[in-house]
Amino acid sequence: MTRFKLLFLALLLSLSAPVAAMAQIAPETAQDRVVGSASAPLTLTVYLSTTCPHCARWHLDVYPLIRSAYVDRGLVRVVYRDLPTSPQRVASAGAVIARCAAEDRYEDVMDGLFRDQSRMRAQGDVDAWLIAGGTAGGLDVLAMSACLADPANFAAIEAAATQALYDGVQGTPAFFLNGRRIDADNIEAFDAAAQPLLAGR
């Protein structure tokens, strides 16, 4: 290896260390969907994909426990972010439908999509899957068609996915509590992360 290459490698290493140390998830934006009290002491940022089976399991089985124990009691607010996974175009379409619903119906759409996800994967009927999710959130077929026909909606999901990767999130589901990466795959893991923070406030 030449002296120039060695110096270049050393420069890269010296620059990458502080950047990694300072890395943190992006601040909340209008693109995020938020559930819970604005005054909650803890913020759980969740990166999901509508086609991710692990996301479906978390949202249907684990999140209701977190919601009843923390969100509904004003202790945690949830910030949802999109990171579409394979098949990405299908996942992006699901995310677009969820974001076209009224903000207070976002979780209803996600519930509908996740509950119907396994059938969609087995049968390949993406249209029926999207309609089931959108209908759960109060959208009619015309509204869903208009949302899916607007390239700006897909561009917004793509931008969110790019930001997620920049935040260091490469797979879903991913969880951050007050900006720190945590395990929230089950209620016990979430309790272990949240209780010390609540005790110390």
Cβ-proximal residues to 68 (8 Å cutoff; 6+ apart), any chain: none
**Residue 178 buriedness (CB in 10 A; 0-12 / 13-18 / 19+):** middle
How far is it, in rounded angstroms, from Cα 22 to Cα 59?
30
pLDDT of residue 23: 43
pLDDT of residue 30: 86
* pLDDT band, residue 2 (cuts 50/70/90): very low
As given in the structure block, the two tokens for residue 138 are 């109060």
**Per the structure, how many domains does the chain have?**
1
Q: Greater confidence, 167 or 79?
A: 79
CATH number of 119's domain: 3.40.30.10
Residue 109 has pLDDT above 50, yes or no: yes
**Residue 129 is part of which domain span?**
32-199
Instruction: Please report which helix (H) or strand (E) contains residue 61, including its range.
Output: none
* pLDDT band, residue 19 (cuts 50/70/90): very low
pLDDT of residue 200: 80
State pLDDT tens for residues 173-187: 999 999 999 999 999
pLDDT of residue 22: 32
Q: For the residues of 114-162, what is the DSSP string, one character each? A: HHTHHHHHHH--HHHHHHHHHHHTT--HHHHHHHHH-HHHHHHHHHHHH
Task: Indicate whether 39 belongs to any domain.
Answer: yes
Q: Are strands 76-82 and 42-48 parallel, antiparallel or unpaired?
A: parallel
Task: Indicate whether 2 belongs to any domain.
Answer: no
Q: What is the mean pLDDT of residues 92-106?
A: 97
Task: Indicate whether 6 belongs to any domain.
Answer: no
State pLDDT tens for residues 38-68: 999 999 999 999 999 999 999 999 999 999 9
Task: Indicate whether 94 belongs to any domain.
Answer: yes
As given in the structure block, the two tokens for residue 146 are 């208009």
